[in-house]
Amino acid sequence: MKNIFPLFPGFRNKALSLFLLVFTLLSYIGLWSQSNNLAPLVDKKATASAILLSKKLQAISKQGFAIGHQDASSYGIGWKHKDHPDKIDSDVYRVLGDFPAVFGFDIGGIELDSPDNLDSVPFDNMRKLIIDAHAKGGIITISWHLDNPVTGGDSWDKTPAVAQCLKGGEERVKYELWVKRVANFLNALEYQGEKIPVVFRPFHEMNGAWFWWGDPNCTSKDYIRLWQDTVEQLRDVHQVHHLLYAYSPNKLNPGDEYLKYYPGDDFVDIFGIDIYDRNDAADYIKSVKQDVELMKSIADKKNKLYAFTETGLEKIPTEKWFTEVLYPAIENSGISWVLMWRNHRTSHHYMPFKGHPSEKDFKDFKALPKTLFLKDINQIKY
Ligand code: BMA
């Protein structure tokens, strides 16, 4: 090309080099801010441990996804932690010789000051198991299947109750007490003088019709107010500062909008989705891909994390479900973790246990490049 600066021979090359240098620097800065700058957390007073957890989840998503299990160490097929409180066990450990990377717990029942949660896990054991999982390097996520405050029925009692919990509502006093009990439980989660960071995932699957906080049992406006109010009570009234808040609708049916109940960027840290395989692998893979892609596009725009917050195939009748159904559905998704639901009994479990036909497939799943169990996430720098 002819030098367009004939009076300054060599200038063209310098100008070109300078341009390239600035361009490269700018692209690096752009990439860096895109990949490392998460949106500010819901809690501006978040503990260092909570901030670190968000960085850890981000670092994990760059290498693969953490594998989670609900009630992983609380009980499994044929055993309960409360019967052998000195031993930390897990069906996943029995099969693989490693623990899951994410430990799910549910505090349904804490609102009543009950000694056990809705699935008979004593809260005292749960607290110890949370401390143990955290000490091992595991990630803690907590859901809350709370009772219906109007009727005293369970979460599945669809009598409208959301508006009643809001300021001015008939059950307001009760609801404030319930949130205080949640705060007390969460504030007691400490390890080596630090609060244990928790992904808190209340009021999940609100687009399904099965919980009292779900559509059509409350309006999206009231749902959003309840969420925001709960965050404000925990964070501002009870000074709970070690939570990341996860919003997790259920599988989107035609016409469902992922953001219909979204409480807003200031009230959510992590996007989630719950999708189960109802024994239809093709439909499952299709909807996981579709919904996770949508969630990812929203999360990426907002610089927030995202995860597959609940899944599984009950009883795992498909022997190679983990390698041939779940893995291809999420392989390139960018999620931080995937959580399989609980191993309650042989007719209601979502992880293999010793002797289950899918044991071998689960070992193969572990060997795949993106699946990260406890030992794997403990290798990751963040
Ligand atoms: C559901 C079922 C119930 C359980 C609830 C909360 O999906 O597993 O049996 O009580 O989760 O863990």
Centre of ligand 1 to C-alpha 66, Å, is 22
Centre of ligand 1 to C-alpha 354, Å, is 22
- Name the residue with the closest Cα to ligand 1, atom 4: 119
Give the rounded percent of residues in the chain with a pLDDT score beyond 70: 91
> Residue 170 has which token pair?
């008939």
- Split at pLDDT 50, 70, 90, the class of 30 is very low
Between vectors from CA 310 to CA 306 and to CA 312, what angle results, nearest 5°? Answer: 130
DSSP 113: T
Predicted model pTM = 0.92
- Name the residue with the closest Cα to ligand 1, atom 10: 119
DSSP 122: B
Q: Which residues line ligand 1 (CB under 6 A)?
A: 106, 118-119, 145, 341-342
The alpha carbon of residue 376 and the mean position of all alpha carbons in its chain are separated, in whole angstroms, by 18
The pLDDT score that the predictor gives to residue 31 is 46
Q: In the Cβ-directed half-sphere of 115, how many Cα atoms lie within 13 Å?
A: 1
- Name the residue with the closest Cα to ligand 1, atom 7: 341
- pLDDT tens by residue, 68-104: 999 999 999 999 999 999 999 999 999 999 999 999 9
Give the rounded percent of residues in the chain with a pLDDT score beyond 90: 90
List, in sequence order, the alpha helices (H) in the chain: 11-36, 48-63, 91-96, 123-135, 162-165, 172-187, 220-232, 281-302, 321, 327-330, 359-367, 374-377
- pLDDT tens by residue, 121-132: 999 999 999 999
Instruction: Determine contact, residues 58/324, Cβ cutoff 8 Å.
Output: no
| CA dist., res. 66 & res. 141, Å (int) | 12
Q: Does residue 191 sit in helix, strand or coil?
A: strand
- pLDDT tens by residue, 154-198: 999 999 999 999 999 999 999 999 999 999 999 999 999 999 999
